[in-house]
Amino acid sequence: MWPTERSPALGPFVRDQVNALRELEGLEVEVYSFDPPGGIRPYLKAAADVARRYRGRRFDVVHAHYGLSGFCALAVRGARASVVTFHGDDLRLRKVAGISRLVARLADLPATVSGYLARSEARRLGGPGTRRRIAVLPCGVDLRRFRPIPRQDAREQLGLDPDRPYLLFPADPSRPEKRHDRARALAEAAGAELLVYSNTDPELVPSYVNAANAVIVTSEREGFGLAPLEALACDVPVLATPVGIAPLALSGIPGTLCDDFDVQRWLDVLRPHLEAPDPRITGRARASTFGSDRMAERVARAYRALAAQNAHRPPTAGV
């Protein structure tokens, strides 16, 4: 879960968290990343590479994102403590859930990106009959990258019609849980063009957000769901299903909607945004409460607590 030249959209939120951690005093962060082409085998190769590369090295904490990456992190033998952040599908998809749950029980601190995910997966993450602590460690939105940009400037950068209404579906249409079919039906009813991004350079994503009359998040499920926060950070209207962080993020903000998907209901909220030349809402203050800088401080507190707890523990093989 780290952007690469081949896969620029692979986990930019993890990179944002690392960048924010590196700005905090007293932390030194080293990154090991790889771009798996699919399947389990690349993770086995990465685990072997990790074991070779870090043989003889000592770390206070090793932190992995995603269950299979957590499996690779177990190969670091010079760590006093381990953290694994689970993002949702790594706990739900049959082909990886079993490994993820095993990794969670071997880690010193299993973490999820949302409270909902921690509650719904508590028994599986902690093991039957246990009361293990499960941390909630979201990545957060990079407020320096996601900020209001004049809509005309964003559209000019992307080569879009300056006057046409656009909606943004902020996900890969091939992912069934994101429900591109819902977004397409809404765009057709609204007479708007539907923008999507798939494997898009993270540096261009804020332009897509600002170019849209509204961002529409039609997912069936989300572990956390940064898209509503990214829209809020740009003061762009957003309509979302009540999954992930959306109910908390959008509560009480005029011009937004968090409700079960219904074309007519969503269209009623959407129409004023489609008719306005540059529709905006007041959302950035809410997004700032989930900024990557604040979330990094939360992660750092977890690191320091683990480091203090394990100060006299020798580095152990396997974690």
**What is the dihedral sign for C-alpha 222, 227, 230, 232?**
negative
Q: Would you call 98 exposed, middle or buried from its count of C-beta atoms within 10 A (0-12, 13-18, 19+)? A: exposed
Find the range with the poorest average confidence among 55-59, 119-123, 176-180, 248-252: 119-123
Average pLDDT over residues 263-282: 95
Identify the weakest region by mean pLDDT among 122-136, 147-161, 280-294.
Answer: 122-136
> Strand, coil or helix: what is 234?
coil
Determine the pLDDT at residue 93.
87
Pairing of strands 257-258, 59-65: unpaired
**Candidate from 2-16, 60-74, 148-162, 252-266 with smallest mean pLDDT:** 2-16
Tens digit of each residue's pLDDT (9 = 90 or more) over 197-237: 878 889 999 999 999 999 999 999 999 999 999 999 999 99
- Say which DSSP state 72 is in: H
Q: What is the pLDDT of residues 6-22, one digit of tens each?
A: 888 888 999 999 999 99
- Does the pLDDT value for residue 319 go beyond 80? no
Mean pLDDT across 162-174: 95
Q: How many CA atoms lie within 13 A of 82 on its CB side?
A: 27
> Is residue 280 scored above 70 in pLDDT?
yes
* pLDDT one-digit tens code per residue, 91-102: 988 889 999 999
- 220: tokens are 């069936």
Q: Is the pLDDT of residue 125 over 90?
A: no
Is pTM beyond 0.85? Reply is yes
| pLDDT at position 33 over 70 | yes
Structure tokens at 52: 């070779």
In the structure, what pLDDT confidence band is assigned to residue 317 with cuts at 50, 70 and 90?
very low
pLDDT reported for residue 127: 57
With cut-offs at 50, 70 and 90, classify the pLDDT of residue 318: very low
Residue 129 pLDDT class (50, 70, 90 cuts):
low
pLDDT of amino acid 133: 85
Mean pLDDT of 307-316: 72
Domains of the chain as residue ranges with CATH: 12-140+292-309 (3.40.50.2000), 151-288 (3.40.50.2000)
172-194: b or e for each residue (b if 16 or more CB lie within 10 Å)? Answer: ebeeeebbbebbbbbbeebebeb
